[in-house]
Structure 1
Amino acid sequence: MAETQEVEAPGRAAKDERRAAKLARQIGVFAKAHGGAEGQLAYIGERGTRIVLVGEDGGWGDLVARTYEIAQKAVEKAGITLHEDFDGDFAAKVETGPYEWKRMAGIQIGG
């Protein structure tokens, strides 16, 4: 039986590298604005991988990478600490304000 190999499309590696570099720059901007940052990667299916960012000041945000590998490269290039899970001390760093509480309450009551 013949073995099959996945053939990478020409230029795909270069595109993925550029995507990772762009995400790394965006992570760096976030980190600079928030006194540093830590992150966690969450696979979100066909859409890709979510890069959750939490700043030292409690600010938070996220970015989406096309693949888990691109997200991982971006975080490595940015040089931030990466957590396996979004729980415990890491989750406790997130500060929410009136906007988030109002939005969460609206979702709970169907708004």
Structure 2
Amino acid sequence: MSLRTKALLGLTAAAVGASALVPAAAQAATGRFTFCNISSARETVQFPQRGWLSSTIVDPGACWSYSFSGIDYEEAVATREVNGAWPAVDTTWFHDSEFITWRV
């Protein structure tokens, strides 16, 4: 076998081995979640699967965005200020590699 053939086979084997890593990296895409408050009260959005990560308070007519990366579905819980309390008013599920806008 010639030296050139051995080198070509070595490069091919290295490329095949490296290609096994590509699907995992490709799945860890970054998505963007945008929450828009269309109510007349202040709201927040929280993410239970992220240790109850919470947005800042979103005023009526405003939006809040956050970039996620991962390969999983996430739950978002919207809360609204009602007489000093913050009850949940809506929930949704989304894939954290997608770009989504949720209006509550």
Structure of higher CA gyration radius: 2
Bigger helix share = 1
Greater strand content? 2
User: TM-score, normalised on structure 2?
Assistant: 0.31
After TM superposition, the score normalised by the length of structure 1 is 0.30
